[in-house]
Amino acid sequence: MSDSSRIAEIENLVDDLIEIYQAQAADLREFAQATAANEGTVHLERNLRRREAQRAELYSRFEHSAFPKT
């Protein structure tokens, strides 16, 4: 992989991570509001777990691209 394509891949992964972190923050706020209002949170819990799995996968890809083993 060329340096320019590696850099582009890293930048894309960073953008994706930023998006997922923002979505997680929104989900956490919604969860907190639903909990405070004594509303059901099962679907919110599922969303939080799904996004965390996505974030972990993205971060793993980022680590692999940004910190290759030499």
pLDDT in tens, 19-63: 999 999 999 999 999 999 999 899 999 999 999 999 999 999 999
- Per-residue confidence (pLDDT) for residue 7, from 0 to 100: 94
Domain count, the chain: 1
Q: Of 51, 64, 43, 45, give the one whose Cα is nearest residue 17.
A: 51
Using CA atoms, how far apart are residues 27 and 16, in angstroms rounded to an integer?
Answer: 16
Domain boundaries, position 46: 3-65
Using CA atoms, how far apart are residues 3 and 7, in angstroms rounded to an integer?
Answer: 6
pLDDT in tens, 1-10: 688 999 999 9
The answer as to whether 70 is a domain residue is no
The answer as to whether 50 is a domain residue is yes
Q: Provide the whole-model pTM.
A: 0.84
| Residue in the block written with tokens 């923002």 | 22
